[in-house]
């Protein structure tokens, strides 16, 4: 069908809700094409898109279709899988509760058990619930840190990690086989609750998750002496973090926590921020204001589904320094390894995991403690797979995993990024440096002096719609086939094409990569700098990752500026 035919089919559907019909009627031709030229695709972590009418938008029919596909996948696994069921949670965005409960109704129509949270909950608690209730899958309704116009649908496997490629591909096939999203059957919600096929979760699951969080902090005595009166400012940025983070900090002994109350209310419009993204310093404006008032040592912000955390630290002049995702990862890794070493609890087979586009600084830190580093593709499901592999073989003990995009996991009772875990440990690390008369900023300086001055920058370029998708493909082809031999007057020593699974060195020798195929290109320079190019798996973006190392931070940052300039010139 053409996009015009699909548009007309939606317009002709008599039971279409008024708000979606109004959306259709208001569309100009370009918007019609973008809304219907394709179906919203599953990427690294499910699907994410603009809220609105259309097959390339997120709406109740697209959600029903995705869940119908999931129901078919569960059915293919047998009656036991149907009884084990699917855990479902949702964040504070527009239509999130409706999408969650309608998903449960689609599953119930197939006789599949579901566990749905009574109100908004963090993504890590959904991952925990999948494991706690031995569910065969999970659904998280969220668009992570995207602006208010977005929502999304993330699918989890039975390990509590984002669904691995095998099942994800099968799910995609089931979804594509559904030709009429308007014909999907829904069970009655109240009858399904009464019968128990839809079970509503609440405080009892919160308590169990909070109990697991008690093991996150490594040195409770340190917290008692130096952390109990340490000033911390926390903002949930209108999202799910408010549900548990305040309680978790109090439970761990951090008693001087100030909340940005104007951002503690769930608000689908995120009315106090342009974008609820803790990667951005702009999202910290109100936290900084409160921080200056109370002279807070550290500011913490979680995104709407509380799987990512941003950190700012007070400097000597009273201003706040917005740490990068890689710097937070370095602080966490260094402290975990050092604290366990001091306590005599660092295992001989300690292992850390990170994505291929995250800093090599943490690799250096791991090696200095005799720990192994495992590099995986972008997507926390690949870290979850490694955790499972470690548990199955007992070859390694998982200590920490992270992605540069502000996602961290300390303890694997959750199998996805967990900002609440990270908040607790960052607070402990701040107390540790305070015990030495230092700040987290000093901690970063110590790490640089010991391991080298590493700098990183991620550039995201949004290219929306059909034209944007074609531009992204064109850029990837240009880099793959015609990349320069040098950047910043430095030779490329290794070119890795993760789609072709090949690594080509400067002499032309080709070796085989062991990661699954993925549309990522990575160029390592002879001075150990590198950059990578990849399309986002869940957004209409292409991302450029640049990482350098120098004799000083200024030198490393100058290298980044030069490489960025040359990338821009090459892309045109």
Strand 114-117 and strand 86-90: the pairing is parallel
The C-alpha angle with vertex 509 and arms to 505 and 510, in degrees rounded to 5, equals 90
Q: Which DSSP letter does residue 278 get?
A: T
Q: Which of 144, 324, 358, 405 is catalytic?
A: 144
Query: Cβ distance 429 to 443 under 8 Å?
Result: yes
Sign of CA dihedral 357, 149, 152, 275: positive
Angle (nearest 5°) at CA 420 between 51 and 255: 130
Closest by alpha carbon to 92, among 53, 153, 48, 143?
143
Specify whether 228 is catalytic.
no
Say how far apart CA 287 and CA 231 lie, in whole Å: 12
- Mind giving me the DSSP string for 17-32? -HHHHHHHHT--HHHH
Distance CA(512)–CA(503), nearest Å, equals 6
C-alpha angle 67-69-70 in degrees, rounded to nearest 5: 60
Distance of alpha carbon 415 from alpha carbon 405, whole angstroms: 16
Residue among 359, 363, 367, 409 nearest 386 (CA): 409
Please give the Cα distance from 282 to 262 (Å, whole number).
16
Sequence-distant contacts of 353-356: CB under 8 A, at least 24 apart = 353/383, 353/386, 353/387, 353/398, 353/400, 353/401, 353/402, 354/329, 354/383, 354/401, 354/402, 354/403, 355/379, 355/382, 355/383, 355/402, 355/403, 355/404, 356/498, 356/515, 356/520, 356/522, 356/532
Q: Which residues are catalytic?
A: 144
């Amino acid at each position: 069908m053409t996009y015009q035919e699909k548009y007309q089919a939606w317009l002709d559907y008599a039971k279409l809700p008024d708000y979606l019909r109004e959306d259709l009627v208001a569309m100009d031709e370009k918007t019609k094409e973008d809304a219907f030229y394709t179906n919203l695709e599953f990427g690294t972590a499910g699907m994410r898109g603009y809220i609105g009418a259309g097959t390339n938008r997120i709406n109740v029919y697209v959600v029903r279709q995705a869940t119908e596909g999931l129901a078919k996948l569960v059915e293919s696994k047998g009656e036991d899988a149907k009884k084990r069921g699917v855990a479902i949670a949702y964040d504070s965005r527009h239509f999130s509760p409706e999408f969650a409960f309608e998903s449960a109704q689609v599953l119930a129509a197939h006789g599949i058990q579901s566990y749905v949270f009574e109100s908004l909950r963090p993504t890590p608690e959904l991952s925990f619930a999948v494991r706690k209730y031995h569910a065969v899958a999970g659904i998280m309704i969220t668009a992570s840190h995207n602006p208010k116009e977005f929502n999304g649908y993330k699918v989890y496997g039975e390990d509590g990690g984002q669904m691995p490629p095998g099942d994800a591909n099968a799910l995609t096939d089931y979804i594509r086989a559904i030709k009429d999203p308007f014909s999907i059957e829904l069970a009655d919600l109240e009858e399904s609750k009464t019968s128990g096929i839809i079970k509503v979760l609440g405080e009892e699951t919160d308590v169990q998750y909070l109990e697991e969080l008690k093991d996150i902090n490594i040195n409770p005595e340190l917290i008692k002496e130096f952390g109990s009166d340490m000033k911390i400012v926390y903002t949930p940025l209108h999202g799910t973090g408010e549900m548990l983070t305040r309680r978790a900090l109090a439970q761990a002994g951090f008693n001087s926590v100030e909340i940005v109350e104007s951002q503690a209310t769930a608000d689908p419009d995120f009315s106090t921020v342009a974008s609820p993204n803790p990667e951005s310093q702009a999202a910290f404006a109100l936290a900084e204001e409160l921080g200056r008032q109370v002279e807070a040592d550290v500011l913490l912000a979680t995104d709407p589904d509380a799987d990512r955390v941003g950190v700012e630290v007070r400097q000597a002049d009273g201003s706040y320094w917005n740490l990068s995702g890689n710097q937070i990862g370095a602080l966490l890794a260094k402290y975990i390894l050092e604290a366990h070493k001091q306590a005599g609890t660092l295992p001989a087979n300690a292992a850390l995991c990170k994505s291929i586009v995250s800093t090599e600084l943490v690799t250096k830190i791991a090696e200095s403690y005799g720990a192994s580093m495992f590099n995986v593709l972008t997507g926390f499901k690949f870290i979850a797979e490694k955790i499972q592999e470690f548990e199955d073989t007992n070859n390694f003990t998982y200590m920490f995993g992270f992605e540069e995009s502000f996602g961290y996991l300390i303890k694997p009772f959750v199998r996805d990024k967990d900002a609440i875990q990270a908040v607790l440990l960052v607070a402990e690390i701040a107390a540790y440096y305070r015990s030495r008369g230092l700040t987290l900023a000093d901690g970063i300086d110590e790490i640089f002096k010991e391991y080298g001055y590493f700098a990183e920058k991620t550039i995201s370029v949004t290219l929306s719609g059909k034209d944007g998708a074609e531009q992204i493909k064109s850029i990837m082809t240009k880099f793959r086939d015609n990349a320069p031999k040098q950047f910043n007057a430095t030779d490329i020593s290794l070119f890795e094409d993760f789609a072709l699974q090949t690594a080509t060195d400067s002499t032309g020798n080709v070796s085989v990569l062991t990661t699954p195929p993925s549309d990522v290109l990575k160029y390592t320079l002879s001075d150990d700098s590198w950059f990578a190019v990849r399309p986002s798996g869940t957004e209409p973006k292409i991302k450029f990752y640049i990482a350098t190392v120098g004799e000083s931070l200024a030198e490393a940052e100058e290298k980044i500026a030069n490489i960025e300039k040359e990338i821009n010139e090459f892309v045109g």
